[in-house]
């Protein structure tokens, strides 16, 4: 199982070999993301929730193949405080959906026959 987070221009990967304990893995990711937020604040910056997103990937092993478990079956949220001090949930997305990071479209899970387009601007 893995949590992949893109947090204000920084990618983080959290891995657990215990597929049953998603709560602990999400809590660990939230703790580290909030440490990064504190580092930004110390240096005079602020984490912008609009520039943050995350996904969780967990597989169900069945007879010689693995299938990605839908995020709707894995509850959880990652929260960060806003500049005003309110808690804000970071956007969560499905690993099957392509996303655009720093101008490059990426997909967390590779589909058979699918390639990542290269931007040539």
- What is the DSSP annotation of 17-58? S-TT-HHHHHHHHHHHHHHHHHHHHHTT----GGGEEEEEE-
Q: What is the pLDDT of residue 119?
A: 44
Say if 71 falls within a structural domain. yes
Q: What is the pLDDT of residue 121?
A: 43
Say if 118 falls within a structural domain. no
Say if 68 falls within a structural domain. yes
Say if 119 falls within a structural domain. no
Domain hosting residue 49, numbered range: 2-95
Global pTM reads: 0.75
Say if 117 falls within a structural domain. no
pLDDT tens-digit series, residues 38-73: 998 899 988 888 888 888 887 776 655 566 777 788
Domain count, the chain: 1
pLDDT tens-digit series, residues 8-34: 777 888 888 766 688 888 999 999 999
Say if 7 falls within a structural domain. yes
Between the CA of residue 97 and those of 70, 87, 108, what are the distances in Å?
12, 26, 8
């Amino acid at each position: 199982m893995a949590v992949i987070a893109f947090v204000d221009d920084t990618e983080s990967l959290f891995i657990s070999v215990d597929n049953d304990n998603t709560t602990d893995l999400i809590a660990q990711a939230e703790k580290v993301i909030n440490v990064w937020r504190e580092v930004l604040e110390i240096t005079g910056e602020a984490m912008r929730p609009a520039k943050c997103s995350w996904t969780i990937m967990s597989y169900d092993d069945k007879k010689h193949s693995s299938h990605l478990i839908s995020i709707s079956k894995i509850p959880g949220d990652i929260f960060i405080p806003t500049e005003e001090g309110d808690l804000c949930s970071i956007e969560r997305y499905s690993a099957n959906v392509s996303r655009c990071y720093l101008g490059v479209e990426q997909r967390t899970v590779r589909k058979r026959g699918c390639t990542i387009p290269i931007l040539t601007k």
